[in-house]
Amino acid sequence: MASGSKDVYLVIGGSGFLGRHIVNALLARGDSVSVFDIVQRYHDVPCYTGDITEQDSISEALNKSGTTCIIHTASPPHGLDDDVLYWKVNVEGTSAVIAAAIANKVQKLVFTSSAGIVFDGSNIIGADERLPAPRKAMDAYNESKAKAEEVVLAANGKSGLLTVALRPAGIYGPGDRQVMQGLYEVYNRGQTHFQIGDNTNLFDWSYVENVAYAHLLAADKLVHLGPERDPLEPLSLSAEEADMLDRYLPPIRLSTGNHRIPTSEARPPGPVLRQSPESSRVTQNFYDHSFQHQPRPIVRTKFDALSETALSRAKTSPLQVAGQVFFITNCEPVYFWDFTRYVWNELDKIVDPEGKEQRLEKRRIVFPQSLGYVFASLAEFWGWLRGKPHMFTRFRVAYSCGVRWHNIEKARRVLGYEPQVGVEEGIKRMISVCHKLHLPRL
């Protein structure tokens, strides 16, 4: 932001699930925000309705609202059978947004990409941003998202526009229409006791408000264009960058309890009889969050994305925001079926508090992934025969048996992103809203 003046935001797709949460987060901190969307669902902020592929309508919205920062979250939902639509909205639409932004001298563009663009059906284990997208995308949705991300990053630095792309993984939360819908259907059919695979596959989830928060951080930190790295010079880090890399990042403890480890230099008083000056100093240290006796050593392997070797290979420094991508997750991946079981159990508490249906008491039926593929093929064939797509597909089998979690160290260090709501609390919030919306009774 130039000389501390506040940005004026336009959230494209601001009537959607994530978009709406971003609008809320901006409103909560008193920012000026408008929405551009194909439909208007809320009336608390100025809304410009229009087609994202029409550069003129976007331009008009930018011009009227005086936008300085665009947050572009619009995309058709995943799972549609319409390749043309995906390409039109995600690729052509995003290009139109960029053209309009440049024409209106907008300074910042934060783009919502997707972690799915690196997924090719095989395991994603602690992937960082260096992992290239597969040659053949998983599906039309991810292919169009990958292309759109490319377009956004290529526009960085063009005519004063700065861009950044965020790749959230498995967004869920109040207002979600994808994750919850699927889980609710399985619950409704009483199929919660089926499990495909051995459930040792960790899976990333991102609570929507955390993702919204990451967008705000990215917008705030998108301030200047970093220089290209000179490959002939040895790697040298600024003090700020060195500091960024040396900070100890603890595991996320939102769900499992955050308690400072007592030490002889920082501990609570306990049942002490007499406080000496020495013991009150130590007590003070314990409650002083900035206190650190000695910095913790950071050990990196040479495979690490932020190791010195990796940093000296990079064409542009990954320690900046402009022109970069960031994975965004809750950093609390859980085994795939655990997330679903937790949701079903929470649903049970509301829908069937007496436990009459005994859904979760049913004997668990586990079949291996290979058998899952066979069943899914049959189901797909049956669906094809009936002319109605079946819910149980090979894609879903691959999806539920694969490992999919990402390394968000870059977002934590560079954006300063820390999840604000834990995975468990996030599910509770999602369910409580679903409940209020009166999901159909059985």
Partner 1 sequence: MSSSESLLKLLFTRPGDFRTLIQFKFFHEFKRDLSAIHEHPTSGWDRRSMRRCWEFLDMTSRSFSAVIKELDGDLARVICIFYLVLRGLDTIEDDMTIPDPVKQPVLRSFHKHTVTPGWTFDGSGPGEKDRQLLVEYDVVVEELNRLPPQYRDVIVEICEKMENGMADFAHKAATTGEIYLEKIEDWDLYCHYVAGLVGEGLSRLLSASGKEQPWLGDQLELSNSMGLFLQKTNIIRDYREDTEQRRYFWPKEIWTREEYSVNGHGAFKEMEEMYVPENEKQALWVLSGLVVDVLRHAPDCLDYLRLLKNQSVFNFCAIPQVMAIATLNLVFMNPQTFQRNIKIRKAEAAGLIMKSTNPRDIAYLFRDYARRIHVKCDPKDPSFLKVAISCGHIEMWCELNYPSFVSVPSQPGQGPVIDPNDRRSAVIALDEKRDKELLEIQRLAKATDGKVKDIVRSGVKTTTKETHWDLIAFMVFAMVAVLGLGLGISWLVINKLSPDS
Active-site amino acid positions: 141
Instruction: Give the residue carrying structure tokens 């995906």.
Output: 86
* DSSP one-letter string for 141-167: HHHHHHHHHHHHHHTTTGGG-EEEEEE
Of the candidates 142, 79, 118, the residue with the CA atom closest to the CA atom of residue 403 = 118
246 is a contact residue toward partner 1 (CB under 8 A):
no
126 versus 383: smaller Cβ distance to partner 1: 126
Biggest distance spanned by C-alpha atoms of the chain: 82
| Strand pairing category for 69-72 and 8-12 | parallel
Query: What does the buried/exposed string (b/e) look like for 95-119 if buried means 16 or more CB atoms within 10 Å of the residue's CB?
Result: bbbbebbeebebbbbbbbbbbbbbb
124 is a contact residue toward partner 1 (CB under 8 A):
yes
131 versus 439: smaller Cβ distance to partner 1: 131
* DSSP one-letter string for 333-361: -EEHHHHHHHHHHHHHHHH-TT-SS-GGG
168 versus 333: smaller Cβ distance to partner 1: 333
CB of 134 to partner 1, least distance (A): 8
H or E stretch covering 433: helix 423-436
Of the candidate spans 161-169, 195-203, 318-326, 389-397, the one that interacts with partner 1 by CB under 8 A turns out to be 195-203
CB of 131 to partner 1, least distance (A): 6
The Cα-based distances of 19 to 152, 168, 194 in angstroms read 18, 13, 34
| Near partner 1 by CB under 8 A: residue from 6, 64, 77, 122 | 122
145 versus 406: smaller Cβ distance to partner 1: 406
| Near partner 1 by CB under 8 A: residue from 263, 284, 370, 432 | 263
| Near partner 1 by CB under 8 A: residue from 64, 105, 177, 253 | 253
423 is a contact residue toward partner 1 (CB under 8 A):
yes
DSSP 8-state symbol, 91: I
Size of the site for partner 1 (CB under 8 A): 65
Alpha helices by DSSP H, 87-207: 94-103, 140-154, 179-188
| Near partner 1 by CB under 8 A: residue from 261, 436, 437, 440 | 261
Q: Which residues bind partner 1 (CB under 8 A)?
A: 118, 120, 122-128, 130-132, 199-200, 202, 228, 230-232, 251, 253, 255-257, 259, 261-268, 270-273, 293-294, 296-297, 299, 301, 303-304, 310, 313, 315, 332-335, 338-339, 341-342, 344-345, 360, 405, 407, 422-424, 427
